Structure 1
Amino acid sequence: MEGRLRQSTGRYAGKSAAERHAERRERFLEAALDLFGGGPGYRSTTVAALCEAAGLSTRQFYEEFRTLEDVLAALHLYVNDVAEAAVINALARTEHLSFADRYGAVFRAYAASVTTDPRRIRIAFTEIVGVSPRMDEQRLARRAQWVDLLCAEAAAAVVRGEAADRDYRIAAVAFIGSVNGLLHDWAMGWVDASSDEVVEELVRLLLALLRPAC
């Protein structure tokens, strides 16, 4: 990560310096997932508390990260990257299904990635909001990637004759905004519905967006 402090080199206990640093980084991220996503939250967590939860020292923290915000940034990207991988995998394995079954399965794969672990949904939709201009920029940039992915899939559906031939960017932005807004409100307890009900409502929105040409 840019700005990381100088790290040690050489082997110790059978592990290279890179392996040791990767292991420590993983421990910090796991501890942060618990504290930011399941505990007091990002704003109420200190470096000392994170180090204690990870079983590591503050010196080791500053070898991997400069600030707690760096940890939050890494977690936010991780949660989104895992969800994107789930979507791409679902697209690949549902090519033989009908239009509605395919895109329903794809969105459910996304939802399973972010909603089955309450810590992930809190990181993706709650803790990241309003932290700093840097985090807002990252959040919007990652949202733009989801919009691009949805537009690319819509274009492919048009080529296959499965969706109407039109510009989908505005609709894609609206859908991604709906996903973020609804999942944020649901995670905050402001929506009286089960996770399945929330997901199925969003599936209906997606199928209406990518409506068949006929």
Structure 2
Amino acid sequence: MSSVSEAAGRAYGGESAADRDDRRRRQLLDAGLRVFGSVGYRAATVRGLCREAKIADRHFYQYFDRTEDLLLAVYAECIAHLTDSVSDTMAEIDSDGDLRAAAEQLLDPFFRVVEDPHLARVVWMEVLGVSPRVEQTYLTVMQQFGTLLLGYLRTFAGDVESGPDVDIDLLATAAIGGISHTAMTWYQSGYAAERRVVVATIATMLANIVAPLTVSVPRTT
């Protein structure tokens, strides 16, 4: 039996091989967020990432083929954090409130997450212009998030008449475009505006996007 194979599956200090793999991958993901979110993706190296993660350079390639793969994994976790902040809030929203109030309730936890400068830089700056694969991932994720948000607000507001000249997918694109650009400029300003002001402003925008399309539907009791 190969001594290398034995070592790979051996437990050290009570830590199993599987737990050790999970820990190292977690360390790389956390290091990726810190490095990509500070010095940037293009300045990052495998050696620097491994040093930040406190693991040997050779272990990087057990989990990722290249730094772009780590970037995508970090980006996926950032997006999951943002999406979860909105999804978790949906169950808590007062169904008797108005559309703008619902939008504010959804956006406040979202922009609270955006206040992490490492996450904001990765999501809105470091994934741009890397490669066609990363670019397509970014566009797909943004569209999905816009559809989630606008779809929920449409349901909250009632039935919707889109009409022949209104494309709901384009509305979702417009909505997430406004949110994304605001998040990026807010981050770049050093979070100059108070979060409550940012939330109130974007909630007004979303309400104005959805409200003209809604048909008044009596609430059932």
Any idea what the Cα deviations from partners look like across 1:1-22, whole Å, max 9, x if unmatched? Answer: xxxxxx9434332222221111
Amino acid of the structure 1 residue aligned with 2:161: D
- Mapping for residues 133-212 of structure 1, pairs under 5 Å: 133-158=132-157, 161=158, 164-166=160-162, 168-189=168-189, 193-211=193-211
Runs of 5+ in structure 1 lacking a partner?
1-6
Name which of structure 1's ranges 47-56 and 9-18 shifts more when overlaid on structure 2: 9-18
Any idea what the Cα deviations from partners look like across 1:47-84, whole Å, max 9, x if unmatched? Answer: 11111111111111111111111111011111111111
Amino acid of the structure 1 residue aligned with 2:42: R
| Equivalent pair of 1:104/1:207 in contact (CA under 8 Å) | no
Tell me which residue corresponds to 2:4: none
| Equivalent pair of 1:154/1:168 in contact (CA under 8 Å) | no
| Equivalent pair of 2:103/2:153 in contact (CA under 8 Å) | no
- Structure 1 CA distance, aligned partners of 2:191 and 2:174? 19
- Structure 1 CA distance, aligned partners of 2:93 and 2:195? 23
Greater gyration radius: 2
Amino acid of the structure 2 residue aligned with 1:103: A
| Equivalent pair of 1:41/1:127 in contact (CA under 8 Å) | yes
Q: Does 1:87 align with 2:86?
A: yes
**What TM-score, normalized by structure 2, do the two folds share?**
0.82
Structure 2 residue matching 1:18: 3-state secondary structure: helix
- Structure 2 CA distance, aligned partners of 1:85 and 1:168? 23
Name which of structure 1's ranges 188-197 and 203-212 shifts more when overlaid on structure 2: 188-197
**What TM-score, normalized by structure 1, do the two folds share?**
0.84
Runs of 5+ in structure 2 lacking a partner?
1-6, 217-221
Specify whether residues 15 and 184 from structure 1 end up closer, same or farther in structure 2 by C-alpha distance, changes over 3 A only: same
- The RMSD of aligned alpha carbons is 2.3
Tell me which residue corresponds to 1:4: none
Q: Identity of aligned pairs, percent?
A: 27
- Structure 1 CA distance, aligned partners of 2:205 and 2:150? 15
Alignment: residue pair count: 203
